[in-house]
Amino acid sequence: MEKGKKGFLAEFREFISRGSVTDLAVGVIVGSAFTAIVNSLVNDMLMPLIGLLVGGYDFSGLKVVLSTAADGTENAFRYGAFLQSVVNFLIIAFAVFWMAKGINALRRIREREKKAREEKAVASPEQSEQVRLLTEIRDLLKR
């Protein structure tokens, strides 16, 4: 092997150990778990309520049968499942919107605090260690 070239395994190990790849993997895993929760919310809670509101109708079974095979299997256009997927998507999009909104609000608060600290640091020049210790002693004696 030539000097300066990395082996395939070393390069792969470096790629995997990067923080962004690890963060992405964690995001995918958490996203999968979140999707399972949203699917349960939609299938087990929201769709029955929506079905009740429209007269007790179950949307998951909505379909148009295009043909039926001799063994009884159906070739069907299942638009009820599609409706459930649309509801799932809307709920996930709504949840992600609120998470992003919260994260942005926290980021703005942190930036304001950082700016306030910087302004305070500019307004009050740095004291020497000796002056700082004398100030602390004075404050302790006052108590």
Q: Is the pLDDT of residue 5 over 70?
A: no
Q: Is the pLDDT of residue 3 over 80?
A: no
Give the pLDDT mean for 55-75.
80
Q: What does pTM read for this prediction?
A: 0.51
Which is nearest to 64 in space by CA: 53, 49, 74, 52?
Answer: 74
Give the pLDDT confidence of 77-135 residue by residue, as tens digits: 888 888 878 887 888 788 778 888 988 899 999 999 998 888 777 666 666 788 888 88
Contacts of 60 (CB under 8 A, 6+ apart): 43, 47, 80, 81, 84
Contacts of 7 (CB under 8 A, 6+ apart): 1
Question: What letter represents residue 100's amino acid?
Answer: A
Phi, psi at residue 14, to the nearest 5°?
Answer: -65, -40
Residue identified by tokens 């509801």 is 87
Question: What letter represents residue 5's amino acid?
Answer: K
Domains and CATH numbers, the chain: 8-142 (1.10.1200.120)
Cα–Cα distance between 39 and 79 in angstroms, integer? 17
Which of 39-48, 64-73, 134-143 is modeled with the greatest confidence? 134-143
For residue 118, the model assigns a pLDDT of 81
Give the pLDDT mean for 29-52.
82
